[in-house]
A and B are shown apart, each in its own frame.
Chain A
Amino acid sequence: MELHELTFSEARRGLEEGTFSARDLVESALGRIEGVEHSLNAFIRVRERDDLLVEAGKTDAARARGEELGPLAGIPVAVKDNISTRGLGTTCASRILAGYDPPYDATAVERLRDAGAITVGKTNLDEFAMGSSNEHSAYGAVRNPWDPGRVPGGSSGGSAAAVAAGEAVLALGTDTGGSVRQPAGFCGIVGVKPSYGRVSRYGLVAFASSFDQIGTMSRDVDGAAELLAAISGADSRDATTSEVDVPEYTGLVTGNLSGVRVGVPRESTGEGVDPEVAEAVLAAVDVMRSLGADVDELKLEHSEHAVASYYLVANAEASSNLARYDGLSYGHRAQGADGLDEIVVRTRSEDFGAEVKRRIMLGTYALASGYYDDYYLRAQRVRTLIANDFASAFERFDVIVTPTSPTPAFRLREHADDPLAMYLSDVFTVPANLAGIAALSMPCGLSSTGLPVGLQITANRFMEPMMFRVAREYEAASGVRLRVPEVKRTERDA
């Protein structure tokens, strides 16, 4: 087995036991990047090889001296390029932020460093995290490592592809409506969206502030859990973080889920869900049942309105959050523009992509005088109803299990002319963002065409330990941990 194929737990054990060094691990990640990036395009920027090796060497030296090391010491981590990193640039995959280098690190990045992780580079995404396919990037589409003719999902498609292909052991993504879980599902890895307020958003470039959360990605449950533990907790720089203590997220596998109440919404396996996906999810539920879990059906009354509610509120917030990009103080400015109005209009017209502009316009409309009550306010009311649905569901259940997406990864440009079809693929992921609760996606098998199927496990707000417990037991009992796929060499289009 090659080093890049190791899961987080295996890599950490190897480092602790001295089987290999952090330098070896970084070398293997860099080697893999060299081998597959041409096909995948997962990274926007990879750090200088020498810098990475020096940093890894320091970890190795500290370990050799017997110093106490952080929980992620020497582990190569990829960071989505909408999370601010000082000196590494942060583009949000947008032309408008070309050349922008933040003067500060995001809190999550500081905590990553404190935990000893080695940031290998910044990953590609849908521009400003707006998309479910990673096709909307000024740096080109990301390809799915399982089939480069397909999308890796989005918006954290670069992070998902990088972890799935072994270019990094762990990655940070961001999840506003499913942007960690859906690509994790498409790429066959574990992706966690923590409860709202669990991880500081300071330094995360805002898309939709009341939904955005930084999430974690790994090829095993413990990696995602350990990475989440490292970045979680209150932050005086983010007023929306919670003071609730951060408990243990990792634990031992017991082979026992007795007493755990698992709810399966009817629509999980209903209309619009690919039969293979439904089958894989039901099989996963059977595994849970065999571990002693109490499984029952459940109805979430208002979930059919989730996607509409989500896109109204998220786009409204986005229209305001993206107003600051005017080409005046930082980032890219339209060439040859003269005068204030021309600079701003041309910069925003030329440097935002079509999807971003579409959402700014939809969001502006939803907030406009005369429409606010009918759109923004009504959507917020639906959001409250959905949160209430979950609140009562979690009186009866500990976790709720659904597919992450109705289908496995779709083909590149499959939804290019139909943004609505793309939006509807978020049907299972957006409710957790609307309600601010915790959810993860993990692989539950491969389709007949060899594509990963994602299983979503949702738990109540700040009930991440329960979510991880079910995931860990399922992971161990099912044996579904996907290998690192061979990445077929393809020529990317420009």
Chain B
Amino acid sequence: MMRDVAIGFEVHAQLATVTKIFCACANESGGAPNSRVCPVCLGLPGALPVLNREAVELGIRVALALESDITARSSFARKNYFYPDLPKGYQITQHRTTLATGGHVDVDVQGTRKLVGIRDIHIEEDAGKTVHAPFSKNARGSGSVGLVDMNRCGVPLVEIVSEPDISSIEEADAYLRKLYQILIYLGVTAGELHRGNVRFDTNVSIRNAVDGSLGTPCEIKNLNSFKSAGRALLFEIERQSRVLDAGGTIEHETLLWDDRAERALPMRSKEEASDYRYFPEPDLGDLVIGDDWIDFVRRFMPEPPDEHALRFRNWYGLRDDTARVLTAEPTVAIYFEDTLANLLRVLGLAPDSIVNPASRLLAISVEAREKMSVVFSEMEGISPERLPELAEVTANWVTVMVGAWVNENGVDLKTLALSCLPAARLAEVIAARVRGTVNEPAAKRLLVAAIDSSEPVDELLERLDLTQVTDASTIETLVTDVLLLHPAEVERLRAGEEKLIRFLVGQVMKHSGGKADPVLVGETLAKLLGIE
């Protein structure tokens, strides 16, 4: 029997600050175990935490993007529990008052919009890692030894707690992907899931079919990918359904997801539930966030994806679906915007001062957007239809042509944009096509050549002899030659076999070495054969 479920998430994201949350150790990944530690993050006797403001600012970004209410005065608390990778015996987190409360994530589930409520957003420190390493020989024989790497201790985390508003596995997936996209967009986390930069815990309960009340929730921890979240939810919904179907009741449990075995095993049950004995952290004062600080963060904050897509529609007249494709990842969006600006410049539609507005001005901050909008408002000689047209063309190039090359060659777009194909160079390739200097197949060859060599685009055009033939008399000669070579096909075409026109255009193109303007060829053929 199909049951209604209520799903909520706690999403933990490691914040991409320069230093750790309470000390000056570098916040990086990799390196030798226990190489990025100090008395503070090791929790040595007498060491004290001092809050890193950058961690707070990244947290504020998240709160602003999710339209949460930022708490003017929040506080830190100690969550007391014992684990070898938690050197102080407690985690510094936020409990009674948190950085922000409320807010929502706007999720698109197969075309239907859904708002998932946010309960609170808080910042806290990450723990270290326990590694079990086998050893072979010692007095007690072989076995395994627990080792602790404290490098991760004190890495800042933002935790985003949702309301249990999610009612299907599909919605859960859409929620996680959307929230992840927002976090990446805001530049608050490196976001590498396989490194554990972003981790999910979920709670699931089944709604009573009769009175609609929520059942006892169970929590599943240790979800490290969208896929494992989906599998874990399926596992848990089925498990709870089986218990209820058999007339049983759900006991509150915390389960740990085992991705390999694809099952969740109980960590602890209600009877042995951990009492974290939260109390205010006496080593840190209250976290006071005034409007000035919020405004400062807002000014330099990257645009969240939905706003970014909206701006692309408003500024460039892009279609909604195009804008969404472009803003799936900030790298693509920035590359698109730089390329478009360069294209407008190359075509003489925008001032020379526009080079790479998006990446150069960190586009993305309010300040940069204001500057860019001033530049665009000063653009001359561009008709209201022309900008959307060029924007769609540019979008097509970035996502389809360049996208295909990136996929085939296994290079990521950011690397390409920073090395062989900066936005300005891509813009010149596109300009050659837009101006009609090259035809479509030649443009593709030009793109590959522009990536493979460092020659200027106009020299490439010449060297590879890609310039499109648009001269009417040359094309007429080519067409005449082809007509003479294929009398039988001409006869059949005249007899009404219209599809043969495509064959003849192809033959002319072949005859021209691919350089003839295919539109002109079609027109000339029609004219010479006297067909409409």
Question: Which residues of B lie under 8 Å from residue A203 when comparing CB positions?
Answer: 46-47
| 260-308 of chain B: CB within 8 A of chain A | 275, 277-279, 282-285
Question: Which residues of A lie under 8 Å from residue B278 when comparing CB positions?
Answer: 367, 372
The digit string for B26-65, where 1 denotes a CB below 8 A from any CB of A, is 0000000000000100111111111100000000000000
How far apart sit A205 and B47, CA to CA, in the bound complex (Å)? Answer: 8
Take A237-B50, A239-B285, A323-B88 as given contacts and tell me if A102 and B82 are in contact as well, using a CB distance cutoff of 8 Å: no
Question: Which residues of A lie under 8 Å from residue B283 when comparing CB positions?
Answer: 206, 209, 239-240
Question: Which residues of B lie under 8 Å from residue A206 when comparing CB positions?
Answer: 45-46, 283
CB distance from A369 to the nearest CB of B (A): 5
CB distance from A414 to the nearest CB of B (A): 31
Is A352 in contact with chain B by the CB < 8 A criterion? no
Q: Of B45, B48, B82, which one neighbours A90 at CB under 8 angstroms?
A: B45
Q: How large is the interface on B (under 10, 10 to 19, 20 to 34, 35 or more residues)?
A: 20 to 34
Is B496 in contact with chain A by the CB < 8 A criterion? no
Is the beta-carbon distance between A326 and B285 smaller than 8 angstroms? no
CB distance from A133 to the nearest CB of B (A): 23
Is A84 in contact with chain B by the CB < 8 A criterion? yes
Is the beta-carbon distance between A202 and B47 smaller than 8 angstroms? yes
The digit string for B147-162, where 1 denotes a CB below 8 A from any CB of A, is 0100000000000000
How far apart sit A180 and B44, CA to CA, in the bound complex (Å)? Answer: 24
Question: Which residues of B lie under 8 Å from residue A364 when comparing CB positions?
Answer: 277
Is the beta-carbon distance between B279 and A324 smaller than 8 angstroms? no
CB distance from A50 to the nearest CB of B (A): 28
| 343-374 of chain A: CB within 8 A of chain B | 344, 364, 367-369, 372
Is A316 in contact with chain B by the CB < 8 A criterion? yes
Is the beta-carbon distance between A376 and B279 smaller than 8 angstroms? yes
Q: Of B48, B148, B275, B277, which one neighbours A201 at CB under 8 angstroms?
A: B48
Is the beta-carbon distance between B89 and A324 smaller than 8 angstroms? yes
Take A103-B39, A320-B80, A368-B275 as given contacts and tell me if A238 and B89 are in contact as well, using a CB distance cutoff of 8 Å: no
| 400-418 of chain B: CB within 8 A of chain A | none
How far apart sit A100 and B46, CA to CA, in the bound complex (Å)? Answer: 13
Identity of the chain B residue whose Cβ is nearest the Cβ of A201 in the assembled complex? B48
Most chain A beta-carbon contacts within 10 A, residue among B46, B89, B275, B285:
B46
Question: Which residues of A lie under 8 Å from residue B82 when comparing CB positions?
Answer: 323, 326, 344
Is B90 in contact with chain A by the CB < 8 A criterion? yes
How far apart sit A380 and B277, CA to CA, in the bound complex (Å)? Answer: 15
Question: Which residues of A lie under 8 Å from residue B102 when comparing CB positions?
Answer: none
How far apart sit A367 and B280, CA to CA, in the bound complex (Å)? Answer: 11
Question: Which residues of B lie under 8 Å from residue A90 when comparing CB positions?
Answer: 45-46
Is A39 in contact with chain B by the CB < 8 A criterion? no
Is A97 in contact with chain B by the CB < 8 A criterion? yes
Question: Which residues of A lie under 8 Å from residue B90 when comparing CB positions?
Answer: 320, 323
Is the beta-carbon distance between B80 and A323 smaller than 8 angstroms? yes
Is A244 in contact with chain B by the CB < 8 A criterion? no
The main secondary structure of chain B at its interface with chain A is loop
Is the beta-carbon distance between B146 and A329 smaller than 8 angstroms? no
How far apart sit A316 and B77, CA to CA, in the bound complex (Å)? Answer: 13
Question: Which residues of A lie under 8 Å from residue B87 when comparing CB positions?
Answer: 324, 329
Question: Which residues of A lie under 8 Å from residue B275 when comparing CB positions?
Answer: 368-369
CB distance from B142 to the nearest CB of A (A): 15
Question: Which residues of A lie under 8 Å from residue B122 when comparing CB positions?
Answer: none
Is B84 in contact with chain A by the CB < 8 A criterion? yes
Question: Which residues of A lie under 8 Å from residue B46 when comparing CB positions?
Answer: 83-84, 90, 102, 106, 201-206
Is the beta-carbon distance between A329 and B89 smaller than 8 angstroms? no
CB distance from B104 to the nearest CB of A (A): 31
Identity of the chain B residue whose Cβ is nearest the Cβ of A212 in the assembled complex? B282
CB distance from B332 to the nearest CB of A (A): 41
Take A97-B45, A324-B88 as given contacts and tell me if A209 and B282 are in contact as well, using a CB distance cutoff of 8 Å: yes
CB distance from A160 to the nearest CB of B (A): 21
The digit string for A126-141, where 1 denotes a CB below 8 A from any CB of B, is 0000000000000000
CB distance from A287 to the nearest CB of B (A): 39
Is the beta-carbon distance between A340 and B45 smaller than 8 angstroms? no
Is A416 in contact with chain B by the CB < 8 A criterion? no
How far apart sit A102 and B40, CA to CA, in the bound complex (Å)? Answer: 12
| 197-234 of chain A: CB within 8 A of chain B | 201-206, 208-210
How far apart sit A281 and B285, CA to CA, in the bound complex (Å)? Answer: 38
Take A323-B88, A324-B89, A369-B275 as given contacts and tell me if A317 and B282 are in contact as well, using a CB distance cutoff of 8 Å: yes
Is the beta-carbon distance between A237 and B279 smaller than 8 angstroms? no
Identity of the chain A residue whose Cβ is nearest the Cβ of B43 in the assembled complex? A324
Is the beta-carbon distance between B285 and A240 smaller than 8 angstroms? yes
Is B12 in contact with chain A by the CB < 8 A criterion? no
Is A15 in contact with chain B by the CB < 8 A criterion? no
How far apart sit A109 and B485, CA to CA, in the bound complex (Å)? Answer: 100
Is B515 in contact with chain A by the CB < 8 A criterion? no
CB distance from B225 to the nearest CB of A (A): 29
Question: Which residues of A lie under 8 Å from residue B39 when comparing CB positions?
Answer: 102-104
Q: Of B49, B84, B279, which one neighbours A316 at CB under 8 angstroms?
A: B279
Is the beta-carbon distance between A237 and B45 smaller than 8 angstroms? no
CB distance from B46 to the nearest CB of A (A): 4
How far apart sit A367 and B50, CA to CA, in the bound complex (Å)? Answer: 24
Is A253 in contact with chain B by the CB < 8 A criterion? no
Question: Which residues of A lie under 8 Å from residue B50 when comparing CB positions?
Answer: 236-239
Most chain A beta-carbon contacts within 10 A, residue among B42, B275, B284:
B275
Is B78 in contact with chain A by the CB < 8 A criterion? yes
CB distance from B21 to the nearest CB of A (A): 12
Is A328 in contact with chain B by the CB < 8 A criterion? yes
Take A104-B39, A372-B279 as given contacts and tell me if A323 and B89 are in contact as well, using a CB distance cutoff of 8 Å: yes
Identity of the chain A residue whose Cβ is nearest the Cβ of B130 in the assembled complex? A340
How far apart sit A417 and B488, CA to CA, in the bound complex (Å)? Answer: 120
Extra contacts besides A316-B279, A344-B82 (12): CB < 8 Å: A102-B44, A103-B44, A202-B46, A203-B46, A205-B46, A240-B282, A240-B285, A317-B282, A319-B80, A320-B89, A324-B45, A330-B44
Q: Which 6 A-B pairs have the closest CB atoms?
A: A323-B89, A367-B277, A209-B282, A210-B282, A205-B45, A203-B46
- Listed in ascending order, the chain B residues whose CB lies under 8 Å from chain A are 39, 42-51, 78, 80, 82, 84, 87-90, 146, 148, 275, 277-279, 282-285
Q: List 28 A-B contacts (CB under 8 A).
A: A97-B45, A102-B44, A102-B45, A103-B39, A104-B44, A106-B46, A202-B46, A202-B48, A203-B46, A204-B46, A205-B46, A206-B45, A206-B46, A208-B282, A237-B50, A238-B48, A238-B50, A239-B284, A240-B282, A240-B284, A317-B279, A320-B89, A320-B90, A322-B89, A326-B89, A367-B277, A368-B275, A372-B277
